[in-house]
Structure 1
Amino acid sequence: MSDQAAIRLSVVVPVKNEAGNIAPLVAEIATSCASLSPFEIVYVDDGSTDATPTALAELRSRHPELRVLRHRESCGQSAAVRTGVLAARGELVATLDGDGQNDPAFIPALAAALAAAGPGAGLAQGQRVGRKDGRLKMIQSRIANGVRGRILKDSTRDTGCGLKVFRRAVYLRLPYFDALHRFMPALVAREGFSVVHADVVDRPRFTGRSNYGLFDRLWVGILDLAGVWWLIRRRRRVPQVELVVPAGQVAPGGQVAPAGQVTPAGTE
């Protein structure tokens, strides 16, 4: 599985101090994604101070599809996701939280929804039902999602859901900043791609307590929200790039091009 072209899907999981959750979640991912083989699982250890590195090392002999990267110090969830995507070898990337609340059984359905929407779709976004978070966090999240939706008009009920499947090439076009993962629908649309949605069932975390998740609070993310709004306002039109084929040269499909013929860029 060293050849990038052979990998259909990369499952990126950011973790921080989730030692007790790693083994059961890796096993679930391996089972759930069997139909999408060949795939890889990319764990990014975001500066854990517990037994997370040991747990990951022990699993690698049983799961050859598992790759592990580590931040020397914690840089946050968005940074961990980006590290994983940059290292990913698949054209499609799935992400999910490392605490077990996101069920990887929904990954094939999200991948299928993205494929069915065609090459113009860049992201399949999960939207949680049956939330298992505490009441206060759910209220904060509902307010933040409501304000974000009214300002960005991203047609997404729940951008905080970690379950996503997207095209790696589309992600790499997005501007990077902390909390990027919470604004992906709006930013993917900004690049001219559509977003599809699918309900996913939330569940309690396996063990431990949350190490991420504070950035869904409105008063923490207000500057990010303003920044994303500005980015969207500044991009008025997405360029539709075409390749100009000189007269007499062979165009894609084997036909000799007449003077001035253009074809979509990247089709050669």
Structure 2
Amino acid sequence: MAQFTKPKSLSVVVPVRNEEDNVADLIFEIRQSLKNKIQYEIIYVDDGSTDRTYKNLLGLQKIYKELHILRHQKSCGQSTAVRTGVKHAKYDWIATLDGDGQNNPADIPALLKALKEGVELVGGNRRHSRRDTWIKRISSIIANAVRSWMLKDDTPDTGCGLKLFSREAFLDLPYFDHMHRFLPALIKRRGGLIVSVPVSHRPRSHGKSNYGTIDRLLVGIVDLF
């Protein structure tokens, strides 16, 4: 058996919808976190934005050669946006994070460090650093508790957008709407190991959530049945 080696390249996939004021800062932070550490590309998937997100990304693409932009003409949902990015990625390992700036790209190296033989997904765990409204925190606690009880997915915070996973493993999974909520369980079912790493979480600086809190909670629970 070949000895496990750490990835030498990484595709960072960021699904966004109406995040015109957040794209520039987040791209800068991603570049700072990975510069001189690993070969990388940044893939932004604009999920049907109705503001200046796409236009701003086009402007940034002229500055950063590692930035690639994909666009859905209408919103298809976060799972579809992630899948679109992964399908177009050129590297074997994928890091995802939310486009609102609440995930800190500086945590990506910690996820890479946690990789070892057999691990197919490293998930961020925000449980002790969550910077959200009380309703978001409560809905997350409920959704995670229900999922953990039903799926035994060994993941304390499956809703964290900051994840690192094998592109091959992801594309081998059955696709369905909202699948990103169940990645740890799906990876575990196919025999892959799951690792969780504590990560930081930041308050949103600009804009508002474009994937509703209560809607996400209800849909996430309904998806289990």
TM-score range, shorter chain: over 0.9
Distance 1:152 1:94 in 2: 23
* Candidates 105, 126, 130, aligned match of 2:124: 126
Query: CA offset at residue 88 of structure 1?
Result: 0.4
Identity value in percent: 54
Cross-structure match for 1:15: 16
User: Aligned Cα RMSD in Å?
Assistant: 1.4
Query: CA offset at residue 206 of structure 1?
Result: 2.2
Cross-structure match for 1:184: 183
Match of 1:56, as an amino acid? L
Count of residue pairs brought into register by the alignment = 217
Cross-structure match for 1:60: 61
Cross-structure match for 2:149: 150
Distance 2:33 2:158 in 1: 23
1:39 aligns with 2:40: yes
CA deviation profile, 1:150-192 (whole Å, cap 9, x unmatched): 1111111110000001110010111111111111111000010
Distance 2:8 2:46 in 1: 22
Which 4+ stretches in 1 moved above 6 angstroms?
Answer: none
Is the CA contact (8 Å cut-off) linking 2:120 and 2:193 kept in structure 1?
A: yes
TM-score (norm 2): 0.93
Query: CA offset at residue 205 of structure 1?
Result: 1.4
1:48 aligns with 2:49: yes
Distance 2:194 2:19 in 1: 30
Higher relative contact order (CA 8 A, sep 6+): 2
Match of 1:51, as an amino acid? R
Cross-structure match for 2:205: 206
Cross-structure match for 1:135: 134
- Within a 5 Å distance, the mapping from 1:1-268 to structure 2 comes to 8-114=9-115, 117-118=116-117, 120-128=118-126, 129-214=128-213, 216-217=216-217, 219-226=218-225
Distance 1:110 1:7 in 2: 14
Structure 1: state its 5+ residue gaps.
Answer: 1-5, 227-268
Query: 3-state SS of the aligned residue for 1:19?
Result: coil
Decide which structure has the larger Cα Rg and report it: 1
TM-score (norm 1): 0.78
The 3 A distance-change label for structure 1 pair 182 and 213 is farther
Distance 2:8 2:145 in 1: 37
